[in-house]
Amino acid sequence: MSTGWQTVQAEVLRRIQNRDWPPGGLIPGEVALAREFGCARATVNRALQALADDGWLERRRRAGTRVALSPLRRAQMSVAVLRKEVEALGKTYGHRLLSRKVTGDLLSLQTLHQADGTAYGLEDREIDLTHMPAAASADFTTLSANEWLVQNAPFDHGNMSYMSEGATASDARHLDCPEGTPLLILYRETFSEAGRITRVRLAHAPGHVVRLQI
Amino acid sequence: MSTGWQTVQAEVLRRIQNRDWPPGGLIPGEVALAREFGCARATVNRALQALADDGWLERRRRAGTRVALSPLRRAQMSVAVLRKEVEALGKTYGHRLLSRKVTGDLLSLQTLHQADGTAYGLEDREIDLTHMPAAASADFTTLSANEWLVQNAPFDHGNMSYMSEGATASDARHLDCPEGTPLLILYRETFSEAGRITRVRLAHAPGHVVRLQI
DNA sequence: GGTGTGAATATGTCTATACATATTGAGCAA
DNA sequence: TTGCTCAATATGTATAGACATATTCACACC
């Protein structure tokens, strides 16, 4: 069948990428497109809606549909569990709980993640026990805190930051590199409705690369 | 009105986050939900579709709709023009074209990006002139190559990599830091249908942070 | 037990229709 | 000119109905 909304989407996308419809330009209305493609307006609507969701089009009632001026592309990256990240490389994942300490309502954990037995990343994590009381009694030696939280702490939102830092003494010791070695550091906070659940600093092993698809 | 698809979406999302419907669990069928919410099945469909797009649900014909096991959250990051990135910080953007060289079909450019007059990032870029012949005659002293390409080279796909490297001699000279200083380095390639358009290495100034929203 | 087959079923998608809503722009009034 | 009102219009959304398609499950058969 040639009248699916996916067909319409593909053709419209082709015209955008082909600059048949230039950036910022108004494209024909839904009714006109429906007529052209020989389908119902709802089908065109579905297609344009999807393209708008992906940032290719900007739509406003009455004003019509325009090709987005700066196809503000977004890079996407999955927030993966470290175990899966390692296994995706074809390596065997392992981890060691280096320390565990409770101060007030804060549980502090230090974990070393390994790939094929060698250091992959050093994680320093704080978990708020008021929001995640179950974490106090969890056994993080078999299931890493990273994975435990993904499974047990659904979150609303969060943020991540990447930066470059020289290896601290602790980083150097556990990641087996000289102090000051440039390392890719990830800071991440995740929040639930109630407040911050956890905060983590992850020092990647030297040479680590983060890849994103556009 | 309480029968909008957004209302249904919100309520379903609430139940997922509230664990009324546990991860991996089957949720009621569209017909049942439509009956419950007092709306048409198409409305429920629209809502569930949207949630599936966002990774909260997994839907399969006949098999029904399940709450995603690991709400595989994606971090998003806009692929911004550097000028806008700087201006978003409330600073004045500037850039200097340091070198320009053509070898065969390859145009090589080195550009220093500045924020409020101080170094922000050092860019080494190669542009394939067979795919972007117009680049040969473009004036990159007024409009940076970064921005020129965003406006003139629509691309299909690409990839980005972040890593941590010690400042090279060139990095150190232009970014005004000691050699070996840990820097956040971005590599990016973008492709059109025809092939690779451009490849870039961007060395960020020391202390640079890349933020992503989850 | 294993295997194939067909009925049942949940979601996928399209259609036609209707009304809602935001925005534009023309026309009129101050 | 400025400002207001109102009609026209493009998209947003809801609905009922229909058929498509994938998958499961029960059941017959070997």
Q: In chain A, whose CA is at the least distance from the CA of B24?
A: A151
pLDDT by residue (tens digit) across A38-51?
888 888 998 898 88
Q: What is the CATH number of domain A5-67?
A: 1.10.10.10
pLDDT at A125 over 80: yes
Do residues A56 and A68 touch, judged by C-beta distance below 8 A?
yes
Proximity of residue B63 CB to strand D below 7 A: yes
Beta bridge partners of A37: none
Cα–Cα dist B36/B204, whole Å: 54
A5-67 and A82-204 agree in CATH topology:
no
Instruction: Compute CA distances A187 → A78, A123, B174, B188, B211, whole Å.
Output: 15, 10, 28, 22, 9
Do residues B166 and B181 touch, judged by C-beta distance below 8 A?
yes
User: B86: distance to nearest CA of chain A, Å?
Assistant: 16
**Domain spans of chain A, in order of start:** 5-67, 82-204
* pLDDT value at residue A161: 93
B209 to chain A, any CB pair closer than 8 A? The answer is yes
Q: Which of residues 35-94 of A touch strand D (CB under 7 A)?
A: 41-42, 45, 48-49, 52, 59-62, 64-65
How many helices and strands in chain B, by DSSP H and E?
Answer: 6, 10
Q: Which of residues 2-21 of A touch strand D (CB under 7 A)?
A: none
Lowest mean pLDDT among B50-59, B139-148, B164-173, B204-213: B50-59
- pLDDT class of B55 with cuts at 50, 70, 90: confident
pLDDT at A80 over 70: no
Residues of B in contact with A209 (CB under 8 A): 161-163
Which amino acid, residue B10?
Answer: A
Q: In chain B, whose CA is at the least distance from the CA of A75?
A: B77
Nucleotide with the nearest C1' to B61 CA = C11
Q: Which of residues 57-86 of B touch strand C (CB under 7 A)?
A: 59-62, 64-65
State mean pLDDT over B116-121.
95
Fold of B82-204: Chorismate lyase (3.40.1410)
* pLDDT value at residue A188: 93
The rounded percent of chain A whose pLDDT value lies above 70 is: 93
State the Cα angle at A76 between A75 and A81, rounded to 5°. 145
**Which residue has 């090709």 as its token pair?**
A67
State mean pLDDT over B187-199.
89
Do residues B173 and B99 touch, judged by C-beta distance below 8 A?
no
Distance in angstroms: CA A60, C1' D7: 19
Q: What average pLDDT is seen over chain B? A: 88
Structure token digits, residue A85 = 């990240």
DSSP character string of B3-59: -SHHHHHHHHHHHHHTTSS-TTPBPPPHHHHHHHHTS-HHHHHHHHHHHHHTTSEEE
Proximity of residue B102 CB to strand D below 7 A: no
